[in-house]
């Protein structure tokens, strides 16, 4: 349903061990709420990202359930602790059962 | 002043409609709260909800929730057709129990955030947001 879905994530390249970093994520998605009607009065079916997760080396950072009240192009900013060098994996789950992922490496110095 | 049968009926319908609609919205909010807390008592303090006092465009209202130590936070827009906005579950590597996002608001209303603490207690914060242009289509 949703075309041109592009995830964008901003993570610092490096951090000190145990440092708390801020991560910003954005994914282009119409987030059709299921409340709107088209020109003929038919309800446009709901089509949203319903879940987002962020993991670091397999450990959960944040797991968010999105509802239709989240704006178009859902944006999320949160904080994570970086105990060691590794990879952040970001996953978005679409209503149409598509899954979008992105990952970012971070080095501890 | 006298009313025709038709006017009386219309007025009765209007009253019934006005009485039923807000009640339904509140029931949804209460249902969502009960589903999250399991009917436990909700305290205050220990949670911050930052939302603008006036939002010009209800399609994208920036909000931020912050509840140090919380396990999860639920956000409800009490005046939306479906009040649930989102649930934030924090894992072991969350640097702070804080998250910010952008939400849709149908009109001027209270936004409610409830945090679940590790000891099983709940705290809440509310913020009224005045919306100039609603954000739920229609």
pLDDT in tens, A50-89: 999 999 999 999 999 999 999 999 999 999 999 999 999 9
Give the dihedral of Cα atoms A74, A76, A82, A88; nearest 10 deg.
Answer: 0
Lowest mean pLDDT among A6-15, A37-46, B19-28, B80-89: B19-28
Helix, strand or coil, per DSSP, at residue B108: coil
Q: Do A83 and B93 touch (CB under 8 A)?
A: yes
Option in A70, A76, A80 nearest B94 (CB): A80
Mean pLDDT of B86-98: 94
Q: Do B82 and A68 touch (CB under 8 A)?
A: yes
The model carries a pTM of: 0.83
Distance from CA of B16 to the nearest CA of A (A): 24
> E strands, A19-58, where?
19-27, 49-56
- What was the pLDDT predicted at B138? 46
pLDDT in tens, B19-50: 555 555 566 888 889 989 988 889 988 899 99
Is B109 at the interface with chain A, CB within 8 A? no
Helix/strand/coil (H, E, C) string of B63-88?
Answer: EEEECCCCCEEEEEECCCCCCEEEEE
Q: Do B104 and A69 touch (CB under 8 A)?
A: yes
Residue A45 per-residue DSSP state: P
Chain B residues whose CB is inside 8 A of the A11 CB are none
Distance from CA of A7 to the nearest CA of B (A): 15
Is B92 at the interface with chain A, CB within 8 A? yes
Provide ipTM, 2 decimals. Answer: 0.89
Contact B76, A65 (CB under 8 A): no
Share of chain B above pLDDT 90, in %: 54
Bridge partners of A108, per DSSP, are A15
């Amino acid at each position: 349903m949703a075309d041109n879905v592009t995830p964008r994530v901003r993570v610092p390249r490096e951090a000190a061990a145990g440092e708390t970093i801020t991560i910003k994520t954005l994914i282009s998605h119409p987030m059709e709420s299921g409340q709107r009607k088209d020109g003929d009065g038919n309800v446009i079916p709901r089509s949203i990202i319903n879940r987002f997760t962020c993991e670091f080396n397999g450990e959960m950072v944040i797991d968010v359930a999105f509802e239709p009240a989240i704006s178009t192009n859902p944006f999320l900013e949160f904080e994570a602790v970086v105990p060691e060098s590794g990879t952040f994996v970001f996953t978005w789950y679409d209503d149409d059962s598509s899954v979008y992922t992105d990952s970012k490496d971070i080095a501890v110095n | 002043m006298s009313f025709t049968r038709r006017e009386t009926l219309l007025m009765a319908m209007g009253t019934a409609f006005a009485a039923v609609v807000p009640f339904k919205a509140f029931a949804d909010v209460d249902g969502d709260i009960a589903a999250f807390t399991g009917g436990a008592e909700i305290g205050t303090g220990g949670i911050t909800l930052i939302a603008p006092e006036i939002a010009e465009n209800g399609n994208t209202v920036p909000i931020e929730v912050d509840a140090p130590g919380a396990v999860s936070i639920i956000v409800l827009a009490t005046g939306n057709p479906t009040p649930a906005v989102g649930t934030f579950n924090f894992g072991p590597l969350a640097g702070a129990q804080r998250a910010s996002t952008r939400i849709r608001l149908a009109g001027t209303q209270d936004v409610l955030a409830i945090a679940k603490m590790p000891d099983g207690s709940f705290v809440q914060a509310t913020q009224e947001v005045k919306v100039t242009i609603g954000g739920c289509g229609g």
